[in-house]
Amino acid sequence: MKNLHLLLICSLVLIIELTFAEAIYVSGDVAGVWSADTVFVTGEIRIPPDSSLTIEPGVYIWFNSHYKMIVDSNATLMAIGAETDTIRFHSSAWYAYEIYYGGWHGIRFLNAADESTLKYCQFINGAAYANYGPNEDKNGGGVYCLESNPTISNCLFTNCLADYYGGGIYCQDQSDPHIRNCCFDDNVANVGAAIHCTNSSPLIENNEIINNYAIDGAGIGCDEAAAPIITSNYISDNLAIGSYSSDGGGIWSNWANPEIYSNTIINNVASGSGGGIFVRGFNGVIMDNIIHNNTTINGGGICCGTDSNPIISNNEVIGNSAGNYYGGGIMFYDNSSPIVNNNLFCGNTAYSGGGIWCRDDSYPYIINCVIADNTAEYGSGIYVHSCCPEVFNCVIRNFSTQEIFLDWAASINITYSNIQYGWFGQGNIDEDPLFITGPFSDYHLGPNSPCVDTGNPGPQYDDPEDPQNPGFALWPALGTIRNDMGVYGGDGASGWLGVKEKERTPLPNGFHLYQNFPNPFNPVTTILFELPVATHVTLQVFDVQGRVVATLIDGWRTVGIHEVTFEASGLASGVYLYSMSAGNFEGSGKMILLK
């Protein structure tokens, strides 16, 4: 019995020692490896210059107060968790008031080593504020980068806030991190609630940016010559509301030049301008985006202001609203003269300019667009004030007898376009365009449409040529290579080829990969799949030898029903296989290309 008591006492001591061994307390300079279950941060911590710290999967870093973690000059932080064993950065604060006064102060990369990596990490309750400190301490609630280029992937940023810029992440002065496959949910900042970049060029790719709140740029903000690549992100339900002039519900760009392409930008709200996208002093690219159901009072889908001359190409701008104000689909003002080609401006609403609104020495060049089914009191298609846009090869058919409204000192030059109720100009017609529903939209031209081969006959406007049928147009253009009016004609029609993806509702209750349709196909088919949870998705096409011929998706996708359009004009006829992996789900199918 005495030996048994001794054994129990020794076992209890061992258990107590092991329990305490799972937690460590840190402050000051840190380096080496953290593998304990919990790391309690009891003061400011710093990885010194030229040092490194590795944090292993599953570690919980708990900040007892408003302390920051500094990754100093040429120092390396490797915080690499696992999909099922994340690393968590947290504090004791939970509510907004507590986070502001009790959240932790984020990770601060200060000219850190490029090898620094944050993967499968959670950033919760980060708070960038400083009652008496420098302004830099008011930026980057979760992560702050100064002249640093870490890789940030598969991370969650939630309930983070910043007094100034970047509730989730702030990139300043030549900071070019790769930010991909992350989720930004319920973050707050003055500007750029999820991500903000100043004089930096990060890659922002395949992220889910939802339910964030800012005065400007509720999703992503950029300024001062920033040139980020913003691609393949899902940007939804963000709110830029704080004043009458709050701009950019989804994306806000102020004298910067981001490349904005292949994003889904839906259901965002701004109380000022640019429900989906707001740009000022912008000469970048807005291309291949789905911009649906955004709301503001000026430029429901897109607002281009003050010396903005971007290329706006191959976008779906559908179902957006400017309420009782201006530019349901897109708005141009104050010397903004972009090239606007091969876009859909459909189903948008406003008081004036249901599809397009332009004013104040703005001279947009509008080519091969469909402006249809929009609603406005004045100019359901286009409203013009004190400027003169150029419009050709377009189809303009809307819910009003007043397709185009010319206000004070306004004119418009329209040629080779199909305009409901007619308009003076060379090559213009007024006929039913005979739209049909196709894989990309409800605005494909039927084979007997009067818009086929009736656009501008100049060779510079020709449709892409089908390499298998010289002299004839490559689908989705029709007929010969002479320009087709509408969104699928002209040189820009090729921008609709390749992979196009759109999300549909309602929400599914399980994983499912459907048979492609049509099957057999030539050269375009659609693959439909369902996700009951947000997860990383890989969808690839193989030939019968097992070689990958196309990767259609390799990134984070949200819960929902998704369609992917696969264009195979560059492939030979034959049998092809498609395979999808999503979490633990694996699925495949067989399809036949017949030319």
User: What is the mean pLDDT for each group of 10 consecutive residues in the chain (595 residues)?
Assistant: 42 39 91 97 97 97 94 98 94 58 88 97 92 82 98 96 97 97 96 98 95 97 96 96 89 97 95 98 95 97 97 97 97 96 97 97 96 97 97 93 92 97 97 90 94 96 90 92 97 73 58 84 87 86 89 81 85 90 90 85
State the pLDDT at residue 393: 98
State the pLDDT at residue 18: 37
**CATH value at residue 547:** 2.60.40.1930
State the pLDDT at residue 7: 40
Asked if residue 419 is part of any domain, the answer here is no
Contact criterion met (CB below 8 Å) for 9 and 17: no
State the pLDDT at residue 505: 45
Domain count, the chain: 2
Asked if residue 438 is part of any domain, the answer here is no
Asked if residue 573 is part of any domain, the answer here is yes
Q: Is the peptide bond before 523 cis (omega within 30 degrees of 0)?
A: yes
Range of the domain at 579: 500-593
Asked if residue 406 is part of any domain, the answer here is no
State the pLDDT at residue 19: 42
Q: How far apart are CA 86 and CA 285, in angstroms?
A: 36
State the pLDDT at residue 93: 61
The b-or-e profile of 79-100 (16+ CB within 10 A means b, else e) is bbbeeeebbbbbbebeeeeebb
Q: How far apart are CA 396 and CA 252, in angstroms?
A: 29
Task: Write down which residue in 194, 211, 228 finishes a domain.
Answer: 211
Place of tokens 């305009």: 419
State the pLDDT at residue 94: 55
State the pLDDT at residue 504: 44
Q: How far apart are CA 382 and CA 501, in angstroms?
A: 28
Asked if residue 228 is part of any domain, the answer here is no
Contact criterion met (CB below 8 Å) for 459 and 483: no
State the pLDDT at residue 245: 83
State the pLDDT at residue 497: 67
State the pLDDT at residue 5: 44
Instruction: Give CA 445 to chain center in angstroms.
Output: 29
Asked if residue 107 is part of any domain, the answer here is yes
Asked if residue 191 is part of any domain, the answer here is yes
State the pLDDT at residue 132: 62
State the pLDDT at residue 382: 98
Asked if residue 280 is part of any domain, the answer here is no
State the pLDDT at residue 508: 72
Residues 6+ apart with CB under 8 A from 591: 516, 519, 520, 521, 525, 575, 576, 577, 578
Of 369, 391, 372, 390, the closest CA to residue 490 belongs to 369
Task: Write down which residue in 211, 231, 262 finishes a domain.
Answer: 211
Longest Cα–Cα distance of the chain, Å, equals 108
Task: Write down which residue in 147, 182, 211 finishes a domain.
Answer: 211
State the pLDDT at residue 130: 76
Contact criterion met (CB below 8 Å) for 175 and 149: yes
Of 136, 80, 132, the closest CA to residue 106 belongs to 136
State the pLDDT at residue 35: 96
User: What is the pTM assigned to this prediction?
Assistant: 0.83
